[in-house]
Structures are given as structure tokens and as C-alpha cells.
Amino acid sequence: MRTPVIVIGALSLIGLGAVILKSVSADADGCSASGIRLTVAADPAIAPVIAEIGTAWTATRPSIEGDCVRVDVVAKPSYEVATELGTYSGGLVDVAAKPVPTPSDADLPTVWIPESSYWLGRVRAIDRDMFDTNILSVASSPIVLAVPEAVARGMEKELGQGIDAAIIKKLALDPAGKLKLGLVEPRRDTAGMVGAMVLSDAVVASPADLPVLVKVYRTLGGAVNDVNGLWQAMGDGSKGMNGAPVSEQALLTHNAGASATPMAAVPLADAATLDFPYAARARQPRQVAAAAAAFRSALTSPQNKALLAQHRLRAADGTAGSGFPTGHGVTAGAIHLQPLTDMAKVKSALAVWVSARTASRVVAMVDATSSMALPLNGTAKSRMQVMKEAATTGLTFFTAESKLGLWAFVGKGHTNLVPLETIGPAGSTQRNKLIGAVTQANPVPGVDACPLYQSIIAGYQEMLNGYDPALSNTLVVFTDGRDTTGTDIRKVQRELELLADVTRPIRVVLLGIGPDIKLDELQAIADTTGGAAFQVNSPEQMQLIFLTALLA
């Protein structure tokens, strides 16, 4: 017999960036070769303590049906594992990065411990059966507002009792306010996502406030992709920010650095907490699933509380073990647990964030049949006029780096009115071309033939041909009627399914204007492409629905 050993080195499992922290092997009769191998991908915030617990657990000689268990703990950012799991399932988890090659089953971990249930929700949006149902938290850390100590002292009156949406609106959203917020990219970081949602709560009382939220997101400090970049930006002032939501553990780790600019932790009211869920992938071999369940029991033992505290983490119940570091606004008092699981709210905030902060690639297609000259439900405005007003306003929501084009469809086919190009800032040539084309667009008198479906397919092919993975790629369709070519909707769906490429996702957003549309058919196209379909029944609805459509 031999004692367990610890091996440190690189592991190709789960991508080139993964590092195996501890590989613990059992006795000399061949556990590492023929025993049960349990691969655990853990967020770097918790991977070291998971590896330590794994070492202690392996020392007890765990076995399943006589076979020993080997545990490999790999430190890997949550967003990277989410990307790979999503791609493996045939979808895309948007983490503000290029798509990754599809991994094999052997490339994926048996167990995943991300920083938050937020990540499980994003993967489950693609494959709801990805994980076993018995998911337990193994640690916790609240989200706090990190503010440099010097700034916090100057705002003690405002921040002394914590901060909520109302205070953020006063201090951070007022141009004269003292607090200049920044966020780590919400598509890559739970604390950044929480910050985006807090800002949404502070701004949006109704859907009519969404344009204000777009502006708020755009005026935040420059883009930061990880918490290390955040600390650097807050320390040197390069991004114009002096406050940002981070995990309590991240703040404590930063303050422990010898050369760090000390940060104060300001409590965020009603903010979500990191809950570090232990999620075993479903459909694993019976012995592997049993090993995963056994290791989960070891990780959730109350005996781990002091070890978690050494790594600046709280227990799963929100309490702090002996030796938990305090100071700079951090106390050892128990916290209220609130995992980030409201995925509908997450989806809404993420959609606005992506629209506000990233460039888009959009082809807008306009129905130019004669019926577009009819009044919209008895109002003084024609259907075409309502579309024009919405499109002109909609241009203001696209960044200068976005690419937009405009088509019209009527009669036997479509016309490319403005080719797809970068729109540039206000006053640029492409923006002026688009504004001019929209302004001059008119229905064709006496022509009711509507090649809706063939135009959508042609537009989809256009989007595929010049697909840009750095941009969100969307086809927007305005129509007041239905296809008149006799093409069956199921044939259209099949053709779109054949064209679809999971590595080049394209959304089709359809706005049906007036009572003559077939919303069920528009919705069928939207469902096939992961897009959205809406019906507009009044001019008042159009602006809001159009913005909602762009952000859907």
C-alpha cells in the first residue's frame, strides 16, 4: 500500500487553460489506471479549497463497489466551462468571446462547481437536462460594492449603511454624483451581472425606461473582462471608475496583496450571493455518478467551515468559520443567502447590456406592398409611417461600430436599398444613407404580392455569408401582411433549419404591423431561429415594441 500523492501540472482536459490542482491516487494496485476517475472543474475562486478537501477525502480510501476513486480538481473560470458545455449541447453561451470548438464528452468534467447558479441557468437554457437534480451549494460569498478606502471615507454619510437601487440612482446615475461605477463584463462574471441588474432596478420602472438603461450602460467605465483588470482600473483611474460590484472573497483577496489599493466593502441591498453549486453532469456511468455523490457529501460537511474561512469563503449557509478575515467593511456576521436564479431577469438585463455595449450586425427588411399605406387600426398614421418613425429612433441605439443594411420586399422579390456597412458616428455617410432611405421609403401602389418567406430566407443567407462572430447578428423584418407566394410555413422552417449553424447564430426578429398578419407563422419562424415575433396594433406600441424586439 502507498499513501496518496499530490501531483501538480498542466492538464489538457477542458481546454488549454485548465490547470490540475490536485490529482490524488489511491493504493498501488492501480487506482490511477483502472479506478474511478472523478474530474471536477471548479472556479478558481474555490478550486484550491476543493482540492484540499479532495486530498483529505482520498486519504480515507473511498471506493465504489470495491473500486477506488481518483479525484482530479481543475481550476477553470466559470464562463469557460459554460461555453464548452453549451457548445457540446449544440448551442451558444455568449461570454463575449469567439465560439470554441465542440468538445467531446471525454473533454468535459464529471462535476462542475461554478461561482454561481447563474452559470447553471445559462447552460440549462440550452440543455435543461445537463445536470443531475440534486445540486447543493458548497460555499458562499456575498456581492458587495468595492470602493477605494479614500473614496469611501469621503462618502461615509451616503454609504455608511450600505447601498440600494435608490442610492445608486442618486450617487452613480446623476452626472454630478460622486460614485463612478464600473462592471466586469456581465457575460463573464456573476458580480458584473448582479451590477447590471441593480442598475436596471434603479432605472427601469416600465419598459418605456429601457432607452435610459441603454444610455446608462454605455456611460459606465471602459470594458473590463476580469476582476484583476477591474482592480487595476480602479487603482490607476484609467477607466474613470471608483466603485464596482465584486464578491466579498475577491475584495478580501485583493486587500491581502501587499501593494494593493485598499478597498472598502459596501453592502449591496437585495443583491445576489455567490453560492458555488456542486453540479454533477447527468447520464454518467453508475459508478462515476456514485463517486460524484460521495464527494459531494464530503464537500458539504460542516467540518469544512474553518478551511473555507482560510480561503476567505463562507459556508454554504452564509456563516463564517473561525479565522475568517474581517475589516474594511467585512464582518463575520451571517449573510442572507440569495443565489442568482431568476433567469428571466438575467436574460432581460443581458439583452440590454449586449445591445448597449457591443456592436451589432443587422439587416432590416421592410414590406413595401401597397397595404403599408393603410392607416394603422384607424389612426391618422399609415403603417409605413409608423415603421419609419420607429426605424429612425432605432438607429440611435446602435453603436458606431455596428453594421446595418436596409432591404425592401414587394412583388417578385427584394431590393437591397442600403448595403450592409459600418454605420459610424452621428453624421456619417452610412447613417445618413440609412436615414435617407428610411425617410424616402414608400409603399408601391397597386402591388399586393408579398414575397415574405423567400425574402427572409435570402436575408438569412446574407447574414450567414458575412457572419461576424464579434457582433450580434440579427435579421429584423417589418411586415403588415402575409406571404402570398403559396409557400408552406413548414417548408420555410425546414429550409431555415438546414441553413442554421450553431457556430454562427442568427436571430430573426419579426414585427407584424396591424391586424392582417399571421402571428402564429411569424412566431414559428422566430422559434426556428431563436428570435422573437411581435404584433403592433397602434403607433404608441411601435417604438416600445421595436426596442423590445431589438433587445429580445
Of 178-192, 209-223, 397-411, 483-497, which gets the smallest average pLDDT? 209-223
Grid coordinates representing 270? 437585495
For 52-80, how does the pLDDT look when each residue is reduced to its tens digit (9 = 90+)?
999 999 999 999 998 999 999 999 999 99
**Average pLDDT for the chain:** 89
> Cell 443531475, residue?
132
Is residue 337 a part of any domain in this protein? no
In this predicted structure, the answer to whether residue 84 has a pLDDT above a threshold of 60 is yes
In this predicted structure, the answer to whether residue 552 has a pLDDT above a threshold of 80 is no
One domain, residues 519 and 372:
yes
User: Which is more confident, 71 or 550?
Assistant: 71
Give me the pLDDT at residue 297, please.
Answer: 96
**Which pLDDT band holds residue 277 (cuts at 50, 70, 90)?**
very high
**Cα–Cα distances in angstroms (integers) from residue 181 to residues 192, 196, 496, in the given order:** 11, 10, 42
Considering the entire predicted model, what is its pTM? 0.81
Of 86-90, 281-285, 401-405, 547-551, which gets the smallest average pLDDT? 547-551
One domain, residues 260 and 299:
no
Please answer whether residues 277 and 336 qualify as being in contact, where contact means their C-beta atoms are separated by less than 8 angstroms. Answer: no
Give me the pLDDT at residue 465, please.
Answer: 92
One domain, residues 149 and 99:
no
One domain, residues 282 and 386:
no
Q: Measure the CA dihedral 116/120/122/127, to 10°.
A: 180
Is residue 242 a part of any domain in this protein? yes
Total domains, the chain = 3
Is residue 74 a part of any domain in this protein? yes
**Cα–Cα distances in angstroms (integers) from residue 95 to residues 78, 186, 192, 319, in the given order:** 10, 8, 12, 31
Q: Quote the domain boundaries for residue 484.
A: 359-551
One domain, residues 514 and 413:
yes
Cα dihedral across residues 352, 416, 368, 491: positive or negative: negative
Give me the pLDDT at residue 518, please.
Answer: 92
**What is the mean pLDDT of the segment spanning 401-423?**
95
One domain, residues 103 and 195:
no
**Which pLDDT band holds residue 21 (cuts at 50, 70, 90)?**
low
Give backbone dihedrals phi and psi of 58, rounded to 5 degrees, phi first: -65, -30
Q: Measure the CA dihedral 514/518/522/525, to 10°.
A: -170
**What is the mean pLDDT of the segment spanning 363-376?**
95
**What is the mean pLDDT of the segment spanning 427-440?**
92
For 226-267, how does the pLDDT look when each residue is reduced to its tens digit (9 = 90+)?
999 999 888 877 777 889 999 999 999 999 987 778 999 999
**Which pLDDT band holds residue 503 (cuts at 50, 70, 90)?**
confident
In this predicted structure, the answer to whether residue 150 has a pLDDT above a threshold of 60 is yes
Is residue 351 a part of any domain in this protein? no
CATH code of the domain containing 539: 3.40.50.410
In this predicted structure, the answer to whether residue 19 has a pLDDT above a threshold of 60 is no
Residues facing 112 on adjacent strands: 41, 279
Give me the pLDDT at residue 6, please.
Answer: 30
For 102-125, how does the pLDDT look when each residue is reduced to its tens digit (9 = 90+)?
999 999 999 999 999 999 999 999
Q: What contacts 24+ positions apart, CB below 8 Å, involve 211-219?
A: 211/397, 211/547, 213/352, 213/356, 214/352, 214/355, 214/356, 214/397, 215/356, 216/173, 217/352, 217/353, 217/356, 217/357, 218/356, 218/357, 218/399
One domain, residues 500 and 408:
yes
One domain, residues 124 and 170:
no
In this predicted structure, the answer to whether residue 30 has a pLDDT above a threshold of 50 is no
Please answer whether residues 390 and 431 qualify as being in contact, where contact means their C-beta atoms are separated by less than 8 angstroms. Answer: no
Is residue 82 a part of any domain in this protein? yes
In this predicted structure, the answer to whether residue 37 has a pLDDT above a threshold of 70 is yes
Give the DSSP H or E segment for 444.
Answer: none
In this predicted structure, the answer to whether residue 486 has a pLDDT above a threshold of 80 is yes
Classify burial at 145, counting beta carbons within 10 Å of its beta carbon; exposed 0-12, middle 13-18, buried 19 or more: buried
Give me the pLDDT at residue 50, please.
Answer: 98
CATH code of the domain containing 269: 3.40.190.10
CA-only gyration radius of the chain, Å: 27
**C-alpha to C-alpha distance for 107 and 179, rounded to whole angstroms:** 44
Percent of the chain with pLDDT over 90: 67
One domain, residues 23 and 47:
yes
**Which pLDDT band holds residue 320 (cuts at 50, 70, 90)?**
very high
Please answer whether residues 365 and 404 qualify as being in contact, where contact means their C-beta atoms are separated by less than 8 angstroms. Answer: no
Please answer whether residues 475 and 492 qualify as being in contact, where contact means their C-beta atoms are separated by less than 8 angstroms. Answer: no
Give me the pLDDT at residue 31, please.
Answer: 61
Of 44-48, 190-194, 514-518, which gets the smallest average pLDDT? 514-518
In this predicted structure, the answer to whether residue 188 has a pLDDT above a threshold of 60 is yes
Percent of the chain with pLDDT over 70: 94
Is residue 284 a part of any domain in this protein? yes
One domain, residues 259 and 295:
no
**Which pLDDT band holds residue 544 (cuts at 50, 70, 90)?**
confident
Give me the pLDDT at residue 550, please.
Answer: 72
**What is the mean pLDDT of the segment spanning 427-432?**
91
In this predicted structure, the answer to whether residue 27 has a pLDDT above a threshold of 50 is no
**Which pLDDT band holds residue 540 (cuts at 50, 70, 90)?**
confident
Q: Which amino acid is at 494?
A: R
Give the DSSP H or E segment for 491.
Answer: helix 489-499
**C-alpha to C-alpha distance for 476 and 438, rounded to whole angstroms:** 14
One domain, residues 156 and 112:
no
Classify burial at 34, counting beta carbons within 10 Å of its beta carbon; exposed 0-12, middle 13-18, buried 19 or more: exposed
Is residue 331 a part of any domain in this protein? no
One domain, residues 242 and 311:
no
Is residue 403 a part of any domain in this protein? yes
**Which pLDDT band holds residue 355 (cuts at 50, 70, 90)?**
confident
Give backbone dihedrals phi and psi of 57, rounded to 5 degrees, phi first: -65, -40
Hey, which of 20-24, 116-120, 343-347, 542-546 has the most confident mean pLDDT? 116-120
Please answer whether residues 469 and 358 qualify as being in contact, where contact means their C-beta atoms are separated by less than 8 angstroms. Answer: no
Give backbone dihedrals phi and psi of 171, rounded to 5 degrees, phi first: -90, -35
